[in-house]
Amino acid sequence: MELPTIHTIIFFTISILFSSLLLLHADTPPSTLEEEADRISSLPGQPPVHFHQFSGYVTVKENRKALFYWLTEATEDPFSKPLVVWLNGGPGCSSIAYGASEEIGPFRINNKATGLYLNKFSWNRLANLLFLETPAGVGFSYTNRSSDLYNTGDRRTAMDSLIFLRRWMERFPRYKNRDVYLTGESYAGHYVPQLAKQIMDYNNDKTNRFRIRLKGFMVGNAVTDNYYDNLGTVTYWWSHAMISDKTYHKLINTCDFKLLQQKESSECESFYSYAMDKEFGNIDQYNIYAVPCNKSDDQRRAFTGQTASLPHRRPLSKSRWLSGYDPCTENYAEVYYNRPDVQKALHANVTGIHYKWTACSDTLNRNWNDTDVSVLPIYRELIAAGLRIWVFSGDIDSVVPVTATRFSLAQLKLETKTPWYPWYIKKQVGGWTEVYKGLTFATVRGAGHEVPLFKPRAAFQLFRSFLRGEPLPKS
């Protein structure tokens, strides 16, 4: 048998390599190059991890608007795990500052803002987490037209978020056939069901190229219905001895709770001002049993706004300190994410935004021109569509308190499947829950407005039960 010559071997080797490259190129969609460009090799001060991270921009309006995202894939077997989208509220607050950096993300920022440490209750142990800063003007998300900052609201946010998600999946095609869940808190009580409805409408259009496999959503301490939220908030203040009987009756008898915000000159507004300035005292309204952080006097958390407004827009007291909990994490975020080396690692601020990165945008909050009076009609529609829907509430939050959520959800008049019972974590009562036909409601005992921040273990159990579609543990 004649042996092949060296020239023949080289020819066949080159042919095989060339064919492989052609095959690889044919099987790799153009978006793969964009995906690779968004890969995070490592963040400054980050401990070593085995999961993959990506971040960057997706354009939602050509030559004008782009939304920023951060994807932290699951720690184990990410290809079998669902995609969970997290949104923070405000309106105008950053999902990077809150959800990613002090609630459910894999990292926490140290108190010198020099580096990161691991969050052992990160939700990416169970799912791939996609943190989205929306609308344009929040965090690193930007618009080239300043009028966009003065003319935005619920509908624009939902539409842009849907465009983002569709285009993001074109960049990350492996997520097109993945189960998707939406999650968030606070004013994301509007964003999440509104985006869910946008996705359902998009899926029902048979001309679209692919369907987003939306399976459900979960929201915490969620703004839901103006009237019942505001009535429930004032009731919470009174029932927790934050205000006097006299102020309570004045608020109940004077205010139009259907409005999100009263006119500054209104009699109602003056009663709100009196309650907050004279009767609340120096407390953190997001956790009424905590003491303040002393590092900053101008903290802004999930809501910001004018001096005396209805419960969903108002200035905040200083942050708080609880055992095992650092109340100043927002301060660390504002230092860390303004570092040039951090922005470079995140592929952020690529256009050289002229203002500092902040956790919340006062401009957006003050100029929010479109808000649904109630999202309960959307709940009814999505319940009928068969989505898995969970609503949870930290029970020591006075901003969107448990009474507000219960008053609002009661208007759905849902049939009870499993009556009220205590659920457990580590042999302790984690909270209470009731399962309705089409919706599960749960409280988290001793948690403030940002439930995963105050009770990370309980929040992790809540999330695990939600993903599995199982009731919370009874023992």
Write down the H helix ranges in 205-353. Answer: 226-239, 245-254, 267-274, 329-336, 340-345
Q: Name the catalytic one among 161, 397, 398, 408.
A: 397
- What's the pLDDT score for residue 312? 38
Instruction: Determine the pLDDT at residue 154.
Output: 97
21 and 64 in one domain?
A: no
Domain boundary among 283, 316, 337: 337
What pLDDT score was predicted for residue 261?
59
> Same domain, yes or no, for 195 and 95?
yes
Residues of the chain with pLDDT under 50: 1-3, 8-31, 262, 264-265, 295-324
What are the tens digits of pLDDT across the range 307-361?
333 333 333 333 333 334 566 778 889 999 999 999 999 999 998 887 899 999 9
Q: Is residue 41 part of a domain?
A: no
| DSSP code per residue over 343-362 | HHHTT--TT--SS---SB-H
Same domain, 271 and 394: no
| CATH, residue 136 | 3.40.50.1820
What is the b/e burial string over 25-58, where b = at least 16 CB atoms within 10 angstroms of the residue's CB? eeeeeeeeebbeebebeebbbbeebebebbbbbb
Q: Which residue has the tokens 């957006």?
A: 364
Are 208 and 156 in a shared domain?
A: yes
438 within a domain of the structure (yes/no): yes
Task: Judge whether 207 lies within some domain.
Answer: yes
Q: Is residue 360 part of a domain?
A: no
Domain that holds residue 380: 53-224+372-468
Of 288, 312, 337, which one is at a domain's C-terminal end? Answer: 337
In a domain, 146, yes or no: yes
361 domain-assigned: no
Domain assignment present for residue 46? The answer is no
Domain count, the chain: 3
Whether 389 and 273 map to the same domain: the answer is no
| Residues sharing a CB contact under 8 Å with residue 240, sequence separation 6 or more, in sequence order | 288, 398
The answer to whether residues 248 and 332 belong to one domain is yes
Its pTM stands at 0.87
397 is catalytic: yes
Distance CA 143, CA 149 (A): 8
Q: Give the residue from 337, 361, 388 where a domain finishes.
A: 337
Claim to verify: residue 179 and residue 245 sit in the same structural domain: no
Catalytic residue among 95, 101, 186, 309: 186
The yes-or-no answer on residue 186 being catalytic is yes
Question: How many angstroms separate the Cα of 129 from the Cα of each of 118, 124, 194, 338?
Answer: 15, 6, 20, 23
- Res 259: pLDDT: 72
The verdict on 94 and 196 lying in the same domain is: yes
Q: Using CA atoms, how far apart are residues 299 and 315, in angstroms rounded to an integer?
A: 9
Of residues 190, 312, 347, 449, which has the active-site annotation?
A: 449
| Residues 303, 378 within the same domain | no
- Dist CA 165 CA 147 (whole Å): 24
Same domain, 109 and 166: yes
| Co-location of 166 and 237 in the same domain | no
Residue 327 has a pLDDT of 65
Structure token pair of residue 354? 């002229």
Query: Does 352 reside within a domain?
Result: no
- Kindly state whether residues 401 and 310 are assigned to the same domain: no
